A and B are shown apart, each in its own frame.
Chain A
Amino acid sequence: MRKSRVATDNPRQKGVSPPKPHPKWGREEETDVFAKKVKLFRQGKISEDDFRRFRLQHGAYGSRLHMEYSMVRIKVPGGEMTPDQIEKIAGLSEGFSIGSAHVSTRQNIQLHWVQLEDVSEVMRGLVETGLTTREACGNTVRNVMCSHFAGVCPNEQFDSTPYSMAIAKFFLRNPMCQNLPRKFKINFACCDQHGLVRVADIGLVPATREENGKTTRGFKIYLGGGLGAASFIGHLLEDFTPEDRVLSTCMATVRLFDRHGNRENMARNRMRYLVHETGWEKFQKMALKERSIVEMTTSHSTGQLFDVKSQEDTRQLPKAPRMTKLPVLNDQVTKESPAFERWLHTNVVPQKQDGYFTVFITLGAGDITASQLRVLASAIRDYSAEGVARNTPQQNFAVRYVRGTELRDFYEKLASAGLANPGALTIASVVGCSGTTSCNLAITNSHRLAKEVQRKFLELGLDTDDFLRDATIKISGCPNSCGQHEIATIGFFGGASRVNNSMTPTYTMLFGGSAGEQGELAKTAMRVPAKRVIDTVLKVIELYKQQRSGNESLHQWVVNVTKGQGTADIKNLEGLKAALAQVVQLPTPDQDPDSYRDYGSDSSFSAKTARGECAA
């Protein structure tokens, strides 16, 4: 038996009853259909184009320069996963993938290098625990995201989770979005801080309005944002959209995109281009008008399919014991602090529910082994009063409703499986897309680079520096923004350049991006060879420490520099570029051939890509 180390008023109420039932996103018949289609495709009875569209609709991407293999993307609405689902994914990753699973930046779980012929078996296993890959790729409404803090965030107006689930359920397999001009992304926030609402096709922030002494729930809805080769920040549709107009607003937007979106030019067919080319004021009018039409013509029974009530978690979670001593969340820690204290400081936040905490599991660019997944599942059962976890767009896991009195036990359980690394809520939680490890479009190994940056930062203890804490580093392996580099304090996207006459993996460095309701896009600064990225970031931190004024954080300083409001010697982006000119230099290829190679490669660099499948 475990013993709590902190005295409590109440004895522990173990577990939750009943456990949260599995949602039923998956359908078994779809797995049989998939297996049949693969056979027909192999027999040459369906064309490659038709098969590709079908495959993507069912969540399987082709793998990098090797179409025998697929990346299977498991759609996890809101990122919420039960322990059974996590264990199932562990088994499937061992049986059919590479023994590790991967958390994406949109709350999906990805299994890489699955043989095409085995994809149906992965799907079959997923269905057993209610999961699906359906419409995880292709020209559909993709995974509906919801802030991993929704329901526990001290700043939220109300829990947006049931709304996000109801929207996800409404659009999944809905005929109105099976063949859109391009993919379509919907993100829910909990508050103005947490959530990617300005960089989605539809972003929703919970809000309330007082009317005649009554409080009405609703959302602030942003349209037409998105990251990519050209990124845009979403526009606010109206001051307040009451909850009974959420569905019609989303339907109207999808219909407008379906009707007016560009089906010719694949490079400019996301809705953000339509909004940009139409002009916001005009698009806004179109959206409001379309919504009226939707409201006048949608049948009652269709409206009933958007059922928020049925998505509410009605379980009564036990009250957490009141603690006589709070964990040292807010004390200063250092690299030399005990590991548990450092972890508490950088991975744990209090919830709005007294005595409960949300704990983050630091992963390296979202990678987690099958055996770690099993330990995670067991830890959720033992320590989370809600009995589920959420994966996060920072490629970590958030385990919520952990009693403050049990944080140490929980920590030790995680530590036994290498899951208690510090830094999840700090600059050391570096985001990296899959890059050349599996993606056809990638030019560089952004995935490994993200892990290398993280390792270096943890080694240096940068996670313990609270002035760096709100800064983020995000890395993509190509200009498309799966690594979300444009909303990072310091972002990078991969490319290839000739340096000293040698083809070299390089990254374009950007500064000053941010997420949340006030989110802004980062500004492009300069190119950095892959092997100079770590030193360059460290140099930026060094410059910040020399130049900062007062209590300015690294993030604030970088944002101020990008706005031309920098300090002392570094007034603006040009000043920062000049200060970094030296550190980005490479020795000659003769002196150090390795510095011209990409991470994970022992041969000279050449940029190889194949057709992307984001648009099919």
Chain B
Amino acid sequence: MRSLTAGVAKKKSAKSSTGSAVKLPIVCDADMLRSLVRKKEVRVVDVRKVDDYNMDHIPTAVSLPLARVLENDTPDKIVDIIEELGISDKTPVVVYDDTFGALAARVAWTFQYVGHFNTALLEMTFKQWKELGLETEKQARTFPRAKHSLNINKEIYADASYVEAVKSQPGKMLIDSRERLNFLTEHIPGAKNIPYTMVGSNGSILRKPEELKRFIENRGIADNAEIITYCGSVGTLSGLTYYALKLAGFQNVKLYPKSFKEWKALGKPKEEFKDATYWDLSAE
């Protein structure tokens, strides 16, 4: 196990000597996080189950299981949770999970939605962190309650009526993040498929920006397109795609967090493909 000694991460240390908090990138690498942890300049948020958190976690991380976010999915309640975790408007936040980044993405997006812009995803999962021999701790952490303002970022949110209104407008595009066979079975009319499996790579929850850019470019999607992502139920897979698109340089990306589950429950139209028995190709 590597120790938290100065020097290991000096190359990429986050400069904050002036006292202003560091501005995080979309994805935070391990060295940067370790440096921030060492300097106590970051709030690390572990979104795995509480039991997993209690076994071990990244040093100084607080526990916020995704389920708790989903149970309290209104801006007021989220801000209350943020304050409880000791996160002020200025605290940089790094979120991680053990589910290829999808759960972390949904939580990070939620923080950004209520106005905590300085939130990043850790580049890797907790399992990969441990495989690299990076430090962990068992001790559950709490911090003094902080004050956080509520500043809803409507630009990154879409609901069913918004999706329905814009889904066929030029310059706007709906992206389904589910796996190919689920997409073929049924999806929101006009949606294109970028499976979540396409945006990750070995050792990192998201591929390199240039690769992601090339994927998008191959598909002929314009740089200035507005893109809305959705997935099967609660916006986790599509949360990851949301960040993949941000990483690829798209400015205008929205998440439809209630996703296809709500869409179906509302009885909205679906596109289905019934002319092939593609499920029978799966070796599962």
Q: State the main secondary structure of chain A at its contact with B.
A: mixed
B40 at the interface (CB under 8 A from A): no
A608 at the interface (CB under 8 A from B): yes
- Binary CB contact string for chain B from 146 to 174 against chain A (1 if under 8 A, 0 otherwise): 00000000000000000000000000000
In the complex, are the beta carbons of B281 and A98 less than 8 A apart? yes
Looking at the complex, which of B76-84, B232-240, B271-279 is the stretch in contact with chain A?
A: B271-279
In the complex, are the beta carbons of A437 and B276 less than 8 A apart? yes
In the complex, are the beta carbons of B215 and A121 less than 8 A apart? yes
In the complex, are the beta carbons of A369 and B193 less than 8 A apart? no
A118-B198, A372-B283 are known contacts. Are A448 and B276 too (CB-CB below 8 A)? no
B214 closest partner in A (C-beta): A121
B51 at the interface (CB under 8 A from A): no
Bound Cα distance from A446 to B279, whole angstroms: 13
Which residues between 250 and 284 of chain B lie within 8 Å of chain A, taking CB atoms? 273-284
Instruction: Report A-chain residues with C-beta under 8 Å of the C-beta of B13.
Output: none
In the complex, are the beta carbons of B280 and A447 less than 8 A apart? yes
* Nearest-Cβ distance from residue A610 to partner chain B, whole angstroms: 9
Bound Cα distance from A91 to B204, whole angstroms: 14
In the complex, are the beta carbons of B277 and A113 less than 8 A apart? no
A112 closest partner in B (C-beta): B281
A100 at the interface (CB under 8 A from B): yes
In the complex, are the beta carbons of A448 and B198 less than 8 A apart? no
In the complex, are the beta carbons of A100 and B277 less than 8 A apart? no
Looking at the complex, which of A186-194, A298-306, A548-556, A596-604 is the stretch in contact with chain B?
A: A596-604
Q: Which of A94, A369, A448 contacts B277 (CB 8 A)?
A: A448
Looking at the complex, which of B16-24, B119-127, B176-184 is the stretch in contact with chain A?
A: B176-184
* Nearest-Cβ distance from residue B175 to partner chain A, whole angstroms: 12
* Nearest-Cβ distance from residue B242 to partner chain A, whole angstroms: 18
In the complex, are the beta carbons of B278 and A113 less than 8 A apart? yes
Instruction: Report A-chain residues with C-beta under 8 Å of the C-beta of B280.
Output: 437, 445, 447-448, 451, 599-600
- Binary CB contact string for chain B from 180 to 198 against chain A (1 if under 8 A, 0 otherwise): 1100100000000101011
* Nearest-Cβ distance from residue B142 to partner chain A, whole angstroms: 39
A97 at the interface (CB under 8 A from B): yes
B218 at the interface (CB under 8 A from A): yes
A438-B278, A448-B280, A608-B275 are known contacts. Are A98 and B220 too (CB-CB below 8 A)? no
Candidate in B195, B215, B280 with the most chain A CB atoms within 10 angstroms: B280
Instruction: Report B-chain residues with C-beta under 8 Å of the C-beta of A437.
Output: 276-281
A99-B197, A115-B193 are known contacts. Are A39 and B220 too (CB-CB below 8 A)? yes
Bound Cα distance from A112 to B276, whole angstroms: 12
Looking at the complex, which of A60-68, A157-165, A222-230, A231-239 is the stretch in contact with chain B?
A: A60-68
In the complex, are the beta carbons of A121 and B275 less than 8 A apart? no
* Nearest-Cβ distance from residue B119 to partner chain A, whole angstroms: 27
Instruction: Report A-chain residues with C-beta under 8 Å of the C-beta of B193.
Output: 115
Bound Cα distance from A437 to B273, whole angstroms: 12
Looking at the complex, which of A14-22, A360-368, A487-495 is the stretch in contact with chain B?
A: A360-368
Bound Cα distance from A599 to B281, whole angstroms: 12
In the complex, are the beta carbons of B282 and A91 less than 8 A apart? no
Instruction: Report B-chain residues with C-beta under 8 Å of the C-beta of A261.
Output: none
* Nearest-Cβ distance from residue B202 to partner chain A, whole angstroms: 7
Instruction: Report A-chain residues with C-beta under 8 Å of the C-beta of B214.
Output: 121
In the complex, are the beta carbons of B277 and A117 less than 8 A apart? no
B2 at the interface (CB under 8 A from A): no
* Nearest-Cβ distance from residue A113 to partner chain B, whole angstroms: 5
B11 at the interface (CB under 8 A from A): no
A95-B198, A97-B180, A117-B220 are known contacts. Are A368 and B283 too (CB-CB below 8 A)? yes
Bound Cα distance from A364 to B220, whole angstroms: 37
In the complex, are the beta carbons of B218 and A63 less than 8 A apart? no
* Nearest-Cβ distance from residue B246 to partner chain A, whole angstroms: 19
A220 at the interface (CB under 8 A from B): no
Q: Which of A65, A117, A363, A448 contacts B219 (CB 8 A)?
A: A117
Q: Which of A91, A117, A436 contacts B202 (CB 8 A)?
A: A91
* Nearest-Cβ distance from residue A433 to partner chain B, whole angstroms: 11
Bound Cα distance from A98 to B180, whole angstroms: 6
Bound Cα distance from A121 to B210, whole angstroms: 13
Instruction: Report A-chain residues with C-beta under 8 Å of the C-beta of B184.
Output: 66, 113
Bound Cα distance from A516 to B276, whole angstroms: 34
Instruction: Report B-chain residues with C-beta under 8 Å of the C-beta of A39.
Output: 218, 220
* Nearest-Cβ distance from residue A522 to partner chain B, whole angstroms: 25
A95-B197, A112-B281, A447-B280 are known contacts. Are A64 and B275 too (CB-CB below 8 A)? yes
Bound Cα distance from A434 to B284, whole angstroms: 16
Candidate in B180, B202, B220, B283 with the most chain A CB atoms within 10 angstroms: B283
In the complex, are the beta carbons of A98 and B282 less than 8 A apart? yes
Instruction: Report A-chain residues with C-beta under 8 Å of the C-beta of B179.
Output: 98-99
- Binary CB contact string for chain A from 111 to 133 against chain B (1 if under 8 A, 0 otherwise): 01101011011000000000000
B276 closest partner in A (C-beta): A64
In the complex, are the beta carbons of B181 and A98 less than 8 A apart? yes
Q: Which of B198, B279, B284 contacts A369 (CB 8 A)?
A: B284
In the complex, are the beta carbons of A438 and B218 less than 8 A apart? no
A435 at the interface (CB under 8 A from B): yes
In the complex, are the beta carbons of A117 and B275 less than 8 A apart? no
A485 at the interface (CB under 8 A from B): no
Bound Cα distance from A376 to B284, whole angstroms: 16
A75 at the interface (CB under 8 A from B): no
A42 closest partner in B (C-beta): B220
Instruction: Report B-chain residues with C-beta under 8 Å of the C-beta of A65.
Output: 275-276
A64-B275, A64-B276, A65-B276 are known contacts. Are A434 and B198 too (CB-CB below 8 A)? no
Which residues between 251 and 309 of chain A lie within 8 Å of chain B, taking CB atoms? none
* Nearest-Cβ distance from residue A64 to partner chain B, whole angstroms: 4
A38-B218, A113-B181, A115-B193 are known contacts. Are A66 and B283 too (CB-CB below 8 A)? no
Bound Cα distance from A143 to B177, whole angstroms: 35
* Nearest-Cβ distance from residue A48 to partner chain B, whole angstroms: 17
A240 at the interface (CB under 8 A from B): no
A35 at the interface (CB under 8 A from B): yes
In the complex, are the beta carbons of B283 and A35 less than 8 A apart? no
Instruction: Report B-chain residues with C-beta under 8 Å of the C-beta of A96.
Output: 198
* Nearest-Cβ distance from residue A596 to partner chain B, whole angstroms: 16
Bound Cα distance from A608 to B273, whole angstroms: 13
A381 at the interface (CB under 8 A from B): no
* Nearest-Cβ distance from residue B265 to partner chain A, whole angstroms: 23
A102 at the interface (CB under 8 A from B): yes
Which residues between 376 and 399 of chain A lie within 8 Å of chain B, taking CB atoms? none
Bound Cα distance from A97 to B281, whole angstroms: 11
A367-B282, A445-B280 are known contacts. Are A113 and B202 too (CB-CB below 8 A)? no
A sample of 28 inter-chain contacts (CB < 8 A) reads A35-B218, A42-B220, A43-B220, A64-B276, A65-B275, A66-B273, A91-B202, A98-B179, A98-B181, A98-B282, A99-B180, A99-B282, A113-B278, A117-B220, A118-B218, A121-B214, A363-B283, A367-B282, A367-B283, A436-B276, A437-B276, A438-B278, A447-B277, A448-B277, A448-B280, A451-B280, A600-B279, A603-B274
- A98-B181, A438-B276 are known contacts; what are 8 more A-B pairs with Cβ within 8 Å? A66-B275, A98-B180, A99-B197, A112-B278, A118-B218, A367-B282, A367-B283, A438-B281
Measured CB to CB, the residues of A under 8 A from B are 35, 38-39, 42-43, 63-66, 91, 94-100, 102, 112-113, 115, 117-118, 120-121, 363-364, 367-369, 372, 434-438, 445, 447-448, 451, 598-601, 603, 608
Closest 4 pairs between A and B when the two form their complex, measured CB to CB: A367-B283, A600-B277, A448-B280, A64-B276
Measured CB to CB, the residues of B under 8 A from A are 179-181, 184, 193, 195, 197-198, 202, 214-215, 218-220, 273-284
